[in-house]
Structure 1
């Protein structure tokens, strides 16, 4: 995935979860930008942090820029919450992302499929008649090369895990797919200190056959692409960033 017209900038502040104030390095102009992620991001949105802005002016927009990536230490973190679904669909189609236990080869992928009281990101049918749901979650929280989800409590995510577990009992194959929007990660887990109930729901889901997968990404200010599978371990302890 390639973003158009990307400019480097410095993060100033975040008045609310939808916008931020940044200073464009090339011009020194202070601009108000749309933040493409409503998560807290406290460990990356630091004063003077280097960020990447995509220039997308339009009469229908309130801001001319999207904040798409933040540099933490020596690596870039993509924070675009809309990109993981597209990366997942593309990765499944080109074979970069594999779904263990899927019966047959993928014949079709449909987006935003309703089931029960939820709408799952991907619905897959194979050439052998297997039907599967894949719920995709972007992961941007990291500390000491351990990735974790979520960075804020998510009732929607909890509902999805419970409904996926129910779908398994109805005969569907079900997956939670975390797209870690950064590269340097050794293992992924659930941030149980942030949301213990989610960790408990994932455990119950795994015991019923729910498969939880993580893939990392190579990220630059202008691009993001899926790299490879990363181990997911629900028992891995995660230390909150200071």
Structure 2
């Protein structure tokens, strides 16, 4: 994915989950921007950190800019919570993302499919009669090249995993797919200290056929692209960079 009209800026502050104040590098103008991620992202939003803004003015918008990426050390992390689903769908169809144990060729991929009380991100059918649900989660939290999810407790995420397990019992293939929105990562895991119930449910699901996958992305200020699969291990120890913030 390529974003239009991207400008570099420096982050000043974040009054609430939805907006931030930034200073454009080119003109030094102070602008209010929409943050395309309602998560905490405390480890990313330090004063004066470099950020990427996409300029998309519209009479229907309250702000002219979207904050889409943050520079951490020397690498960019994309924080757009809307992009993982689109990336996943495209990468599954073009073969960049491979869903293990899915038999046959994909004949249909649909976005947003309801099952029980959940709306799963992707529903797939194959020419051998396989049906599969894929729940996509964006991952932006990182420390010492270990990526973790979530950065805040997610009741919705826990419900999704529970109902993916139920879908397996009814003959579906079920997958949790983490789109890691940065490149430098050795292992992906669950932030167990943040939400132990989610880690427990994933471990249970894996014993019953739930497949958990993670793919990293190459990121620049104005682009993001799926790269390759990275190891996922629920039991990997994760040190929260925000524990002292």
TM-score by length of 2: 0.98
1:123 corresponds to which residue?
Answer: 123
Deviations 1:42-74 (A, max 9, x none): 000111000000000000000000000000001
Give ranges in structure 2 of 5+ residues lacking alignment.
none
- Give runs of aligned pairs for residues 31-180 of structure 1, distance below 5 A: 31-180=31-180
Shift of 1:103: 1.1
Aligned residues: 242
Query: Tell me, what secondary structure is at the counterpart of 2:61?
Result: coil
In 2: Cα distance, 1:153 partner to 1:233 partner: 19
Shift of 1:6: 0.2
In 2: Cα distance, 1:64 partner to 1:78 partner: 19
In 2: Cα distance, 1:127 partner to 1:51 partner: 44
1:229 corresponds to which residue?
Answer: 229
- Give runs of aligned pairs for residues 7-18 of structure 1, distance below 5 A: 7-18=7-18
RMSD value, Cα: 0.5
Deviations 1:136-182 (A, max 9, x none): 00000000000000000000000000000010011100000000000
In 2: Cα distance, 1:139 partner to 1:187 partner: 12
Deviations 1:98-127 (A, max 9, x none): 000001111110000000000000000011
1:19 corresponds to which residue?
Answer: 19
In 2: Cα distance, 1:6 partner to 1:62 partner: 18
- Name segments (4+ residues, structure 1) moved above 2 Å: none
In 2: Cα distance, 1:127 partner to 1:14 partner: 49
Matched, 1:188 2:188: yes
Give ranges in structure 1 of 5+ residues lacking alignment.
none
